[in-house]
A and B are shown apart, each in its own frame.
Chain A
């Protein structure tokens, strides 16, 4: 059956497509370091969607108004705790304010687990959460 499927280009396309779609969501459960990032995992309306995070960016000891630095849609994504976006925001602020300390912390509350904080350090020296 598999040999027959793989004997044509269309069959090979089907096999790769189905395999990728079956396995890609596993990445969320097995390998993704960011539990808030549910992209490509078909986790519509999951409990994680109810997560609320409060990202705080402090530049040289002064809290930053994220709304003045980034579009509100990005601030909203950061409010869902998505690490890649928060890391990119940190990198952006580090570039904009060179030689400054950009301390980032995220406080998240969950529906199904205890609140948790992430970060809390200078993202210009440690750029990943």
Chain B
């Protein structure tokens, strides 16, 4: 065995051979430059970097497309989590994912702002703007949000936390001479794929139990169109075994390039199947599908990227590249002004203030580009993109807000938490904000009316209840609340009238019928039969727990 001191020292280690789809050595100048860089940083002893990791290449077209898809999905996922923010820190209770994190876990405001920030930074990353800064920042914030509390039970959020750490080491930013077919050495992408392989392996191991193999587990979990498809074909036992086999296949193929011809169709079909299973797993399946972009043959992605329409778009973007300080300042200022205007219409809590504060990022980058950065530097050439990324990020906030119930749910859940945990002051703030952003939402008026009546503000409370009665004419609860309040005031005749209204509105509401019976001293008609498929009554301001 050669001892370390006996080996003749060399100044450079050989660069690792590349691993390309066709097995050929790297052809581009970029790859050569990378090889030279590797030599320059190699230790004096002869050590060849393992090609499995450091020779792994993906085409620039594929890397940039994967960047766009993955970070766009993460931005969407971050914004959709905002509705769960009120559960964080509720009642002053928290248990961290790791010991010692209980006290530094996020509260409602911290979680909400953290997710807004993550979404903002993910949009920058998706566009390839300042990725060396925004991805580590997003990874740190995301890790705090995830590891700070066991309230996040989604295992794919643990995966995202790991992927973001890995993503810090992926060369996402485009170099000036890069073209779609340029091979980019990216050991971190290989690591990401190995991480997926490990995930599949352990997921398969967890299913190696009789309760999975005989189909019992899957029978209790799957709903939706896939359930009827399985029932009408292979049955749950075979489906369970097939899922296990699929995970084992993916565990050994997803990180091995020659095996991608197997992993790509199998993995995509598997995760589309999960989408059809009706499992409440957020964007997990979509995110996994996004990772499969890395398995698409480079030649196909490059061919698409070199197609005429995309060539035209790239050419146009190059022509409008803004490098003059005045032009960059005008574009950045215009983008910031529009973004602030857009943020006024965004209903997420703190969105406007945060958007205004975040304007500092493009401004600082603009100042740095022209006061600090060297002429011709990447920062100086692309600083206008930061302003546009800022504008797009705020636009994404607005689009997600206005196309989902996330912001409405946030205030509704906040009010519900506070109400149930005995904090009527916070509950009132939340319900007033809910009414402000969603004036057609009856829950806000109903709960606010009850809160106001409870503390003696009769006029305002009744006004809110009447508005709730108007907005949900087929629900008994607002009539019932008014009737109960009238009973408390000794106004029995009026209470009977309101209780009758409650029964008319919702004949199946047992509480309304019971109150009417009690007040009138008679037995009303038997209640209409309750649909057994109907879920049990649940507050409509209660947050829905995650599924693991």
- Using a CB–CB cutoff of 8 Å, the interface residues on chain A facing chain B are 1, 3-5, 7-8, 10-11, 13-14, 17-18, 21-22, 25, 38-47, 49-50, 67-74, 76-77, 80, 82, 84-85, 88-89, 92, 111-112
Contacts and interface: CB of A to CB of B under 8 A. Distances in A.
B405 interface: no
Q: Is the interface of B mostly helix, strand, loop or mixed?
A: helix
Given A4-B50, A70-B93, A111-B211, A45 B221 contact: yes
B545 A21 contact: no
Contacts of B211: 47, 50, 111-112
B421 A68 contact: yes
Nearest to B191: A14
Nearest to B212: A47
B202 A41 contact: yes
A77 B151 contact: yes
B206 A43 contact: yes
Contact of A47 (B42, B84, B97, B217): B217
Given A85-B95, A88-B93, A22 B198 contact: yes
13 contacts: A4-B49, A7-B45, A7-B47, A8-B42, A11-B53, A18-B194, A46-B207, A49-B221, A71-B543, A77-B150, A77-B545, A85-B150, A111-B211
Given A14-B187, A73-B84, 15 more contacts: A4-B48, A7-B45, A11-B50, A21-B195, A21-B198, A25-B205, A40-B158, A42-B199, A45-B217, A45-B218, A46-B217, A50-B211, A72-B420, A74-B93, A77-B153
A8 B93 CA distance: 43
A10 to B, nearest CB: 6
Contact of B50 (A5, A18, A40): A5
B109 interface: no
Please classify how large the interface on chain B is, using the bins under 10, 10 to 19, 20 to 34, 35 or more: 35 or more
Contact of B93 (A39, A44, A71): A71
B191 A25 contact: no
B209 A112 contact: yes
B150 A21 contact: no
Nearest to A17: B191
B454 interface: no
Contacts of B93: 70-71, 74, 88-89, 92
A7 B43 contact: yes
Contacts of A40: 158
B506 interface: no
A84 B99 CA distance: 10
Interface of B: 41-43, 45, 47-50, 53-54, 84, 87, 90-91, 93, 95, 97, 102, 150-151, 153, 155, 158, 162, 165-166, 169, 187, 191, 194-195, 198-199, 202-203, 205-207, 209-212, 216-218, 220-221, 279, 417, 420-422, 542-543, 545-546, 548
Contacts of A21: 162, 195, 198
Contact of A73 (B87, B102, B203): B87
B53 A14 contact: yes
Contacts of B212: 46-47
Contact of B543 (A38, A49, A73, A77): A73
B49 A7 contact: yes
B464 to A, nearest CB: 24
Contacts of B548: 38, 44, 49, 80
B155 to A, nearest CB: 5
A25 B153 CA distance: 16
Contacts of B421: 68-71
A43 B202 contact: yes
Contacts of A72: 87, 420, 542-543, 545
A41 to B, nearest CB: 6
Contacts of A85: 95, 150
B90 A71 contact: yes
Contacts of A18: 191, 194, 198
Contacts of B217: 45-47, 49-50, 111
Contact of A44 (B169, B203, B216): B203
A82 B417 CA distance: 22
A-B interface, 9 closest residue pairs, ranked by CB to CB distance from nearest: A112-B211, A76-B545, A42-B202, A47-B211, A43-B206, A71-B90, A46-B206, A7-B47, A73-B87
Contacts of B91: 69-71
A74 B102 CA distance: 14
A8 B279 contact: no
A1 B49 CA distance: 8
A71 B85 CA distance: 12
Contacts of B158: 39-40
A65 B421 CA distance: 11
Contacts of A70: 90-91, 93, 421
